[in-house]
Amino acid sequence: MRNKFFIDKKLVKKIEKDLKKRCSIEEDLNKDLELFNEEIDDKTVLSIFKYIEDYGNKKQKGYLVEIQSRYENSTLLIDDTLKLADWYDKMCNFYNNIDGMDL
């Protein structure tokens, strides 16, 4: 009765399949976060934070506050890892170029 009046049986199966996919993706993301945390060191991350504080634009500094908080609470998001990697590249380019115009 439930399927006939409330929700189509095919939709229930599709939702169940999608939930399995989501669980698999979340597991993969959690593994990626663990690997990221194993590869980074506090000194480098703190250097990135300092670089953004000193030379980042307003938008970067806004993200920085959020990322710093999550980093300090060991709750980084997968998106944060990409932002940190991007900032690291910018920091390296900045310090490798005397004029610093690559920011």
Q: What is the b/e burial string over 35-64, where b = at least 16 CB atoms within 10 angstroms of the residue's CB?
A: ebeeebeeeebeebbebbeeebeeebeebb
Task: Compute the distance between CA of residue 7 and CA of residue 10 in angstroms, rounded to an integer.
Answer: 9
Average pLDDT, the chain: 90
Residues 14 and 62 in one domain: no
Which pTM was predicted? Answer: 0.78
Band (19; pLDDT cuts 50, 70, 90): very high
Task: Compute the distance between CA of residue 68 and CA of residue 75 in angstroms, rounded to an integer.
Answer: 10
Residues 62 and 89 in one domain: yes
What tens digit of pLDDT does each residue of 89-103 get?
A: 999 999 988 554 544
Residue 45 has pLDDT above 80, yes or no: yes
Residues 47 and 21 in one domain: no
Task: Compute the distance between CA of residue 9 and CA of residue 80 in angstroms, rounded to an integer.
Answer: 39
Task: Compute the distance between CA of residue 93 and CA of residue 48 in angstroms, rounded to an integer.
Answer: 12
Residues 48 and 79 in one domain: yes
Residues 33 and 45 in one domain: no
pLDDT of residue 102: 47
- Count of structural domains, the chain: 2
In a domain, 3, yes or no: no
Per-residue pLDDT, averaged over 19-36, amounts to 95
Domain that holds residue 27: 8-39
